[in-house]
Chains A and B, each alone.
Chain A
Amino acid sequence: KNQVEQSPQSLIILEGKNCTLQCNYTVSPFSNLRWYKQDTGRGPVSLTIMTFSENTKSNGRYTATLDADTKQSSLHITASQLSDSASYICVVRERTGANNLFFGTGTRLTVIP
């Protein structure tokens, strides 16, 4: 069973609208959680990183939240743009070891005009 689950699998929204992507994880002990944006045919690019003590972190129109007690994170995109169309991948890092990254399968977001 994947230790990082993302929902929804895919999402279509109108340009200018807001949306929220979800990430639930079971990884323990927890170190940090990152959201990556992956454009089609490109490598993933880091959007935010959150540690245990952080609840909210923003990067422009992207706002990530983390509830370490319930092991849930969300990525909120405000005033969506066509360029936001991409896959958004949640990556959770375990506190021990070096290759201890757990990847979600991503949410495919399509923004339409």
Chain B
Amino acid sequence: GAGVSQSPSNKVTEKGKDVELRCDPISGHTALYWYRQSLGQGLEFLIYFQGNSAPDKSGLPSDRFSAERTGGSVSTLTIQRTQQEDSAVYLCASSLETGAGNTIYFGEGSWLTVV
């Protein structure tokens, strides 16, 4: 596609339920990033993929969070047993490669509200 696509754009879920957030990066981009942005806060790094592998998972807030990427393309961020503090915008981004000069393109985000 023309840009990074995320779904769902909005999700309201009950505390304790599991949610899956999907990211379709720009075609051909090998690097994919997940960030979280709470209201009025800066972006918080969660995880990044180079191809299908995730060299750095240190940003994941807890073991309730996991992510995978298949076929070097689509990625899914899964949050198990959601808590109210998980409410945030989850932004996905991609870049052609991970080198410093590569522009990172963001999706529109998935707005998650846990009630």
User: A-side interface residues toward B, CB under 8 Å?
Assistant: 2, 4, 31-32, 36, 41-46, 49, 89, 93, 95, 98-99, 101, 103-106
Report whether A93 and B45 are in contact in the complex, using a CB–CB cutoff of 8 Å.
no
Q: Knowing A31-B100, A44-B106 are in contact, say whether A98-B42 is a contact too (CB < 8 A).
A: no
User: B-side interface residues toward A, CB under 8 Å?
Assistant: 4, 31, 33, 40-43, 45, 48, 50, 55-56, 59, 91, 93, 98, 100-101, 103-109, 111
Q: Which of B40, B48, B109 contacts A43 (CB 8 A)?
A: B109
Bound complex: CA A100 to CA B4 (Å): 20
Bound complex: CA A65 to CA B111 (Å): 33
Report whether B48 and A93 are in contact in the complex, using a CB–CB cutoff of 8 Å.
no
Bound complex: CA A2 to CA B41 (Å): 12
Can you identify 25 A-B contacts, CB atoms within 8 angstroms? A4-B42, A32-B100, A41-B108, A42-B108, A43-B4, A43-B91, A43-B93, A43-B106, A43-B107, A43-B108, A44-B43, A44-B91, A44-B106, A46-B103, A46-B105, A49-B103, A89-B43, A98-B48, A98-B55, A98-B56, A99-B48, A99-B55, A99-B98, A101-B104, A103-B42
